[in-house]
Chain A
Amino acid sequence: MELKSNVPEGPLADKWDNHRFTSKLVNPANRRKHKIIVVGTGLAGASASATLAEQGYEVSSFCIQDSPRRAHSIAAQGGINAAKNYQNDGDSIWRLFYDTIKGGDFRSREANVYRLAQVSNNIIDQCVAQGVPFAREYGGTLANRSFGGAQVSRTFYARGQTGQQLLLGAYSALSRQIKTGKVTIHTRKEMMELVLVDGKARGIVTRDIITGKLESHAADVVILATGGYGNAYFLSTNAMASNVTAAWRAHKRGAGFANPCFVQIHPTCIPVHGSFQSKLTLMSESLRNDGRVWVPKKPGDTRRPGTIPEEERDYYLESKYPSFGNLVPRDVASRNAKEQCDEGKGVGTTNLAVYLDFSEAINRDGEATILKKYGNLFQMYEKITDSNPLYEPMMIYPAVHYTMGGLWVDYNLMTTIPGLFAIGECNFSDHGANRLGASALMQGLADGYFIVATSIANYLSTTNLESVDSADQDFSDSEQQVQDRIVKLLRCSVGGPEGKLTVDEIHKELGLLLWDHCGMARNKEGLEKALSELPTLQKKFWDKVYIPGKGEELNQSLERAGRLADFLEFAEIMIRDALDRGESCGCHLREESQTEENEAQRNDAEYSHVAVWEYTGEGAEPTLHKEPLVFENVSPSQRSYK
């Protein structure tokens, strides 16, 4: 596997311009002859589909939900960053670039991140023109807020529903192209396999979720915009249907998978209530501005929080990090919460939670002020937990939120398979080892609206593409493989459910294994243990999973089983990647790599690279390739929050 990043020549600020100039174009009249498949209709997928169709390509767009408007981008709350500097507070493209690359702990590619900062401004203009109702000042100009610890106000937002509004904007652009016939939309279709012809991505096999029918679709280019793999942990803030299948299938066909161990764990989520829990809900990080995090000093203290006297409370973040206190970065807050719970000091029914207490802030600023800031969050919290944070401290616990890792792509967002592009959370490109708040929406739309079309034109005009048809042998072979897999999945359900396990039971086991050993803090021993236990779990799945019903019908158990089968395989490279990365960086603490003050210790000498995994066959160990990261414009610095 050759990793050519294809970063253009020239000074950082000119690279994208130079690249657009040197990229080859496709004559407008010829564009309609090219068919493009886009899998996924989130911010990246919908915006790419719409943009490519506007330019004249024939686009087929696929989504797993019943409507393209429901992709999980819709759940993003906070906002979207752009270097507009509307607030005149010293922001610039360079600052957004620097913040993003520093936030990612210097594990991303300079050129990609700089381009992201460059196009961020166009995104805002585009969305405003589409009728996205961004929050505005009384004078009618766009409002901004500061977000995720940034020192400038560069986040644009639409109440707490920014993701929804941006997605509906992209969905409206997509809808317009569906109306014109340039986009054919395929809803409730799950991508099951990537089809390669002569080593190039030329199509996909899908399963119709309603009828179970397998279908082949041929094209000149395949774009994956299928999101992240956080659901490997079973519990995450991701939507229930979010999965790794499309990316994993591509990986098994030859696409390198980059940094699979980079998973962001968000510190302020509503804790798990019980074994029935199906997903976790994120609460905005801003809560930590006024809330104080604490646990009882005595392990196993089950008194109600109000009855625990001040001197028996451990405000562990404030005592450990006097200068940042409760505002330490996400990873530090998350890690410390888990540490406290592991010591038995966790609170709540499951002992997996810490308090976030607003009583001091309420005494200081009054109820009204606090409600003005956090009223909607308090409401949301109360709806789920039936407890009012005004009178009782909130309980929070970290949860898997975003995956920085993904399919390896070059500067053109093309994977190691020619003709296969990956955009949005599905690729690894821009967030390094940690993503800053309000940057996910920015990246999804940057890739979709402003970047991928240039790459595709260049690819199409420089590549010799034979004509293929979905009835060709390569397609029917792939379809057969998918069919065989479904048969294999259903194989052990024949004798009935006795002595078998349900899909979720096994998924919860996998989730726990990853959470315990491949979560926020990792060590060699734990990772090796996880790696050794994984094959047993995989075998258990294939021997014991019970899936009711048939393949040729709406069968939600079968859908979940197929996704879990891929998560089980994928978990291996996640663990291997974590094992190989002997440094602490971004979101993760590698216990062997700590400073004297027990803080994360990055190791640039050995690990300043992108770890890219290559699939080498069933049962064979995957191969690790490294793309070295070169920093010509910024110099990696070590963080300190003491």
Chain B
Amino acid sequence: MWFIQFFKSSIGKKWLMAGTGCCLLLFLCSHAAGNATLFYSLALFQSYADQLHSHPLIVSIFSTGLLVIFILHIITGVLLTLQNRKARGHDYKVKKRSSPNSTASSTMIYSGLFILFFVLIHTYVVSFGDHSQISLTISYLFSSFYVIVFYITAFVVLAIHLSHGFWSMLQTFGVNHPRYNTMIRSLTYIVPAFFLLLFTAIPLLFLF
């Protein structure tokens, strides 16, 4: 099949990674919008959660879709890492990187797995928790210093992941043009910084 052929190719896998990454980024946007209600009040946040869960069909379709995309992103990522290690073969005695932002690009698999770990815990505690009491749950969670540290760490890692991921996604889609590259370069830092600020502000809201 032509599309299987495509996704089996190196560029196809890249596209799969970038495509699923793009969906996850969009999800992150909607999640961020939902969370932003917290800046107004806990009550508004609770009503947003209630509203959302009053449409179980929509929620289940979206969360299943999200799960599939998430799993695809992880599987492709792990597969690429394994294949690429094999293609690299013998490693160098002196390992040195010359490219910009190599910290992020060389640790995508680790930052990715850490985010997975966070998502699993987040899902267990929040998503499978009692939705009717969600505002209480998070108030309770964010009263713990360790939870806050873990939460902030997770979003720092996400920001690092995105600082390569966002640019990488555009490059994979072929978005590379001298006229727009300066803008793309700044977006590479603006996008992760935006999510980092927004999400880490929430626990700090509870702290002060």
Any A–B CB pair closer than 8 Å? no
Which B residues lie at the A interface, using CB under 8 A? none
Which A residues lie at the B interface, using CB under 8 A? none
